[in-house]
Structure 1
Amino acid sequence: MMGALELVGESRCFGGRQLRFAHRAASLDCDMHFAVYLPPQAESEPVPVLYWLSGLTCNDENFTTKAGAQRYASAHGVALVAPDTSPRGEGVPDDPEGAWDFGLGAGFYVNATNAPWSAHYRMYDYVLEDLPAALAGLPLDTSRAAISGHSMGGHGALVIALRNPGRFRSVSAFAPICSPTRCPWGEKALGNYLGDDRAAWESYDSTCLIRLAGEHLPMLVDQGEADGFLAEQLRPELLREAAQEAGYPLTLRMQPDYDHSYYFISTFIGEHIAFHASHL
């Protein structure tokens, strides 16, 4: 045990430690797991933090086991923090039809306002409040923080960074759901979690938020051109248009022949960590 945390897994990795914790999350009213990679530099001083938000169907372990990120985090002296993607456990509702794009594994990083989802599905608060509080006993300098993610998690990273000036030094995303108010995945999730008032959805749409942003964070987005979800669900052209209209300094890189998988993420994750390290 470490304070309110229960250490449930530990492995040596690139001179640092890959850890997995369990804790009670007040905002979600359930028990949660999250992963932390501490680079070797954390043995002598607090290190900056890169939060990683994963995509649909994922949990806290997908990124840590598939992305190969620890090698680069070790080299740059950056900790990696990867939470789960939704509340879990007995009493937490799931999609009534058992679909993979809503409910368990698909929290969309929003604070649900509709029953029955509102009792547990508050991933926005969890990432901003519960998770940093749970890290308090670790050798981390959470005042130097960046945020990144993939797909649904890319959406979450962009939205959380844009809505919280001063909390993060930089933001990046792989194949983010750029405008959930204008794609089937987002319309299903936001309609269920938030209700029918589409105006309320805009506070979780990065293409809306970027037009209102008072802080211009360094922002890097990578999108594979062979991604099967590109045209219908991800729509990076909408993010580019919004950034251009707002004068927001977005770097959007379209990567030929890459798809939506962790093969894509593992190819460019080193560049993303270097990008964040330069701002941390």
Structure 2
Amino acid sequence: MKTISENRCFGGIQGVYTHASEATGTDMTFGLFRPEHPTGAVLWYLSGLTCTHENAMTKAGLQGWAAEAGLTVVFPDTSPRGGGVPDDDAFDMGQGAGFYVDATREPWSKHFGMERYVTADLPETVFAAWDLDETRQGITGHSMGGHGALTLALKHPGRFRAVSAFAPICHPSASEWGRDQLAAYIDQPEAHDATHLLLDGAALPPCLIDTGTDDQFWDKLGTDVFARALARTRSEAALRLQKGYDHSYFFVASFAAAHVAFHAEHLA
């Protein structure tokens, strides 16, 4: 692992690091915020389409609340990158749009192992480098990252004590943001769709979701159909519609405190 930068932040350290990833076959960059008084609990934040590790790190406003709660926050990148990594002219495919799945189809399968990266490769690096508690992990994310947070929590039971999401794409196999992309990456898009996973009996850990009623991408999120699937389960989940909010990072920053508090409660 190589340190790119470390800066004082709310009494702690906001760092940026690179490491060689077996899951992607590339060097990967990630951000990690270490509070001044860490409790050992870890919150993974997954970003959305076109984002890098830096977007949430600089725009979501999590660090101040995480510092108060003693949470370490990890900001992975959204895909492998580099000249030898496949890409696409569309913003919602290829670099910056890994959808947190392990691609099985060419040309993506060689490098786009993002599920393994987030659940195995990067945690191995993080837990080896810092004194953190592997039994106290939460996961959150925005948009495509919300999709990643929900599906990874559903597919890896017991791994995360809590999950939350800001305006998640929660029915991607039926959305412009997911249908074609998942079909290009993998053979079974429904296996990476939070709505289908719920209907198939997968269990969510305690869950908090916020989505804005004025989200300009509402028709791509699948919030209504996910809510109906959620109602058929016994999940400890709250799906809140926030009046007047859109899809931007201003929305994420507005509710960051509530999400950090939610995770801090369940990771205590």
Matched residues in 1 for 2:72 and 2:91: separation?
A: 30
Aligned ranges for residues 226-241 of structure 1 at < 5 Å? Answer: 226-231=214-219, 233-241=220-228
Q: What amino acid maps onto 2:67 in structure 1?
A: S
CA contact (8 A) 1:145 1:169 kept: yes
Unaligned runs of at least 5 residues, structure 2: none
Match of 1:267 among 239, 243, 254: 254
CA contact (8 A) 1:243 1:249 kept: no
Whether 1:20 aligns to 2:20 is no
Match of 1:61 among 47, 54, 63: 54
Distance 1:38 1:30, change over 3 A: same
Could you say what secondary structure the match of 1:220 adopts? strand
Matched residues in 2 for 1:254 and 1:144: separation?
A: 28
Q: Which residue does the alignment assign to 1:113?
A: 104
Q: Which residue does the alignment assign to 2:44?
A: 51
Could you say what secondary structure the match of 1:140 adopts? coil
TM-score calculated relative to the size of structure 1: 0.93
Q: What amino acid maps onto 2:230 in structure 1?
A: A
Could you tell me how far 1:214 is from its partner in structure 2?
Answer: 5.2
CA contact (8 A) 1:169 1:217 kept: yes
Taking only the aligned residue pairs, the percentage that are identical comes to 48
Q: Which residue does the alignment assign to 1:276?
A: 263
Q: Which residue does the alignment assign to 2:180?
A: 188
The CA deviation string for residues 164-193 of structure 1, in whole angstroms up to 9 with x for no partner, is 111000000001001011101211211111
Match of 1:143 among 126, 135, 139: 135
Could you say what secondary structure the match of 1:185 adopts? coil
Q: Which residue does the alignment assign to 1:219?
A: 207
The CA deviation string for residues 18-77 of structure 1, in whole angstroms up to 9 with x for no partner, is 0110001101001100000000113xxx51000000000000010110111110000000
Aligned ranges for residues 103-182 of structure 1 at < 5 Å? Answer: 103-135=94-126, 136-182=128-174
Whether 1:85 aligns to 2:59 is no
Aligned length: 266
Matched residues in 2 for 1:216 and 1:153: separation?
A: 16
TM-score calculated relative to the size of structure 2: 0.97
Question: Over aligned residue pairs, what C-alpha RMSD do you find?
Answer: 1.1
